[in-house]
Structure 1
Amino acid sequence: MKHLFVINPTAGKTDRSHEIRAEIEELAREMGFPCEIILTRGPMDAADIVQRAAGQGDELRVYACGGDGTLNEAVNGAAGYPHVAVTQYPTGSGNDFIRIFGKDTSRFSDLRELVEGETAEFDLIDCNGRLCLNICSVGLDARIAAGMQSFKKLPFLSGRGAYALSTLYHVLRGISRPYEAEVDGRHFSGDFTMLVAASGRYYGGGMYVMPEAEPDDGRIEFLLVRKVTVLKVAEVIGDYKTGNYRRHPDLATHLTGKEMAILSREGRTAINIDGEVMMSREVRLSLSPRKIRFIFPRGARWESTFFADPI
């Protein structure tokens, strides 16, 4: 079995690639396993690296050393190869997908636990041809994420500051946008704040948006949040972030299914895919026939045991 460590040197607040490389090399010597270490150089580089390695046909374990974006790229490179398994060594700022493992999430920061870990087959969501392991969304959250990229370029502004400024900017410009949406043949039309498709439960740096989601149940959880007023946005978003969207049945519609199509009436719209941003007027989301073998620490479990507070 081969072990491939893909390091994103731009993940997190500082470049830890030298430190991570040293940790990997020390563990490989101690445990006696062959490994290859490659640093990414740009967007989707991790996907290309993993796909090339997967194409060699050897049993392969891939360790995405970075955040949710690095993990997403590794998954896109490995999907469809039954001899390849993927995991995350979390060095990014969000690391949201692995939060489904609850109290065992911290164990992903132990490389030995991952090398000795077990695997399970997880579902993937196809979003306009790009695969998603965790959550896809369209709406206010995706626009804020897209805006952050511009605000980050401002001097002396931290990542948190860029997020706050982008949030203020997009709230003032209008919280909702007009969309057409169809979930498994059921049609919805009007102004929406957010449209979400989830296989995982957390995104956006720890927002617990979809308590019902399971990564291996062969279905997608959809959440459609209709127009929210400025006066009510803080309350609704607060409940949304803690999995309590059910407190707003007049605004939030939860559905379970296999596919959703979205059409933006205002032209191209931002799409969040595991923390990465794409732009398109039409969005097609579906349960992918491809799966991913995911590595996790032995004995760790992801089944949901928490339910949102009753209404």
Structure 2
Amino acid sequence: METLIIVNPRAAGGRAKQIFQEIKKDLDSFFACRRVAVAEKPEDVAKELDIAAKENISRLIVIGGDGTNHNVVNALAHRPGLKIALGFIPVGTGCDWSRALGMPRKPQQSVEWLAKAQPHPCDLGKVEYFDTRSGGKMASHFFLNIASAGISGEVDSRVNRAKRRTSLTFLRATVATLLKYKPQHVAVECDGEIFYTGKSFLLVVANGRYFGRGMWIAPHALIDDGLFDVLLIEGVSRLKILFALQSVYSGKHISRNDVRKTRARTVYVHSDDGALGLDLDGEEGKGNDLRFTLIPEAVNILLHPTLAAIKKNN
């Protein structure tokens, strides 16, 4: 199986290139037939995928964080004819998709994990919205893990402005944002039916299970069941949210009365209070009139054969 390895040298605070050098021997051992490319920007990723299509490469391994994964997934989604199995070696700040897959955090162990992994069909999400950052033009993005609207977009903005990122960066940004954020009035429809109308801190549309560096926001989400797990946190008091924050890391928040949940193939969101902050696989955005659509089995990911918990028909 021919393999393309894409390295984002800016991931992990610029350490991704060094990490690649550290695991190069392991990669050589397990993936002898390979091509290595450095790609920082979306257009770099797109160029490499076009080359992969011409060279009949059937496996892609990405060394980067959630932002790099987001760029790769969007490039793949625009090339539906490219049959390539996608794997990740997590080295970024959040690494929430790899956490959902049960991957080891150490790069050397991730290489061994991927060597045993097999292609598995995975659902993909698409969101379309009026982008206030581009003057209200329609924008669209694909996401592999989780898209959300509300406070998460403001948290992303704080994280991206941080001069130095640590294991506590997401938590600190979340608490700081909670102290100032005002819940917005939203109207949410799921599969054409009214799901919720009222003030909301956060709406989550999940294919994966984790976001915000380890927050187990959608503990029952499956990557191949043809449905989003949809969660909404109502606009309750900040004090209640702060006290409940720890429960998100254990997944116990889903039993709270102020957390609404359902499953759906399509989700539509409008806010009378204006644009909502967006988090798209860790990438920030801002917009309104959001339409989320699930695309079943749109990509193949490399998945360890022992991991049944995140798949249907366990």
- Is TM more than 0.5 here? yes
Structure 2 gap ranges (5+): 129-139
Question: Per-residue CA shift, 1:127-173, capped at 9, x if unaligned?
Answer: 123111111111112211123323x25xxx54567646644543233
Return the alpha-carbon distance in structure 2 between the equivalents of residues 71 and 207 of structure 1.
18
Quick check: 1:57–1:83 contact (8 Å CA) kept in 2? no
1:91-170 aligned within 5 A: 91-102=91-102, 105-106=104-105, 109-128=109-128, 129-150=140-161, 152-153=162-163, 158-159=165-166, 163=170, 166-170=173-177
Quick check: 2:205–2:231 contact (8 Å CA) kept in 1? yes
Question: Per-residue CA shift, 1:202-251, capped at 9, x if unaligned?
Answer: 111011111110101111110011112022112232223321123322x1
The answer for the alignment partner of 1:189 in structure 2 is: 197
Q: Which of 203, 226, 237 in structure 2 is aligned with 1:229?
A: 237
Query: Residue 58 of structure 1 aligns to a residue in which SS?
Result: coil
Please say if 1:38 is aligned against 2:45: no
Return the alpha-carbon distance in structure 1 between the equivalents of residues 46 and 210 of structure 2.
26
Return the alpha-carbon distance in structure 2 between the equivalents of residues 235 and 6 of structure 1.
41
Quick check: 1:46–1:77 contact (8 Å CA) kept in 2? no
Please say if 1:86 is aligned against 2:106: no
Question: Per-residue CA shift, 1:274-299, capped at 9, x if unaligned?
Answer: 111122122111102561110133x3
The answer for the alignment partner of 2:137 in structure 1 is: none
Structure 1 gap ranges (5+): 306-311
Return the alpha-carbon distance in structure 1 between the equivalents of residues 40 and 301 of structure 2.
24
1:216 partner amino acid: D
Return the alpha-carbon distance in structure 2 between the equivalents of residues 16 and 127 of structure 1.
29
The answer for the alignment partner of 1:199 in structure 2 is: 207
Please say if 1:61 is aligned against 2:55: no
Return the alpha-carbon distance in structure 2 between the equivalents of residues 61 and 170 of structure 1.
40
Return the alpha-carbon distance in structure 1 between the equivalents of residues 26 and 190 of structure 2.
47
RMSD of equivalent CA atoms: 2.6
Task: After superposing the two structures, state which structure 1 stretch, 65-74 or 221-230, moved more.
Answer: 65-74
Quick check: 1:125–1:131 contact (8 Å CA) kept in 2? yes
1:158-307 aligned within 5 A: 158-159=165-166, 163=170, 166-187=173-194, 188-249=196-257, 251-289=258-296, 291-297=298-304, 299-303=305-309
Query: Residue 281 of structure 1 aligns to a residue in which SS?
Result: strand
2:223 partner amino acid: P
Which TM-score applies when normalising by structure 2? Answer: 0.84
The answer for the alignment partner of 1:51 in structure 2 is: 49
Query: Residue 224 of structure 1 aligns to a residue in which SS?
Result: strand
Which TM-score applies when normalising by structure 1? Answer: 0.84
Quick check: 1:2–1:34 contact (8 Å CA) kept in 2? yes
The answer for the alignment partner of 1:308 in structure 2 is: none
Query: Residue 12 of structure 2 aligns to a residue in which SS?
Result: coil
Aligned pairs, number: 296
Task: After superposing the two structures, state which structure 1 stretch, 121-130 or 175-184, moved more.
Answer: 175-184
Per the alignment, do residues 121 and 262 of structure 1 end up closer, same or farther by CA in structure 2, a change over 3 Å counting?
same
The answer for the alignment partner of 1:309 in structure 2 is: none
Q: CA deviation at 1:14?
A: 4.1
Per the alignment, do residues 265 and 203 of structure 1 end up closer, same or farther by CA in structure 2, a change over 3 Å counting?
same
Return the alpha-carbon distance in structure 2 between the equivalents of residues 228 and 200 of structure 1.
26
Identity of aligned pairs, percent?
Answer: 22
Return the alpha-carbon distance in structure 2 between the equivalents of residues 290 and 46 of structure 1.
25
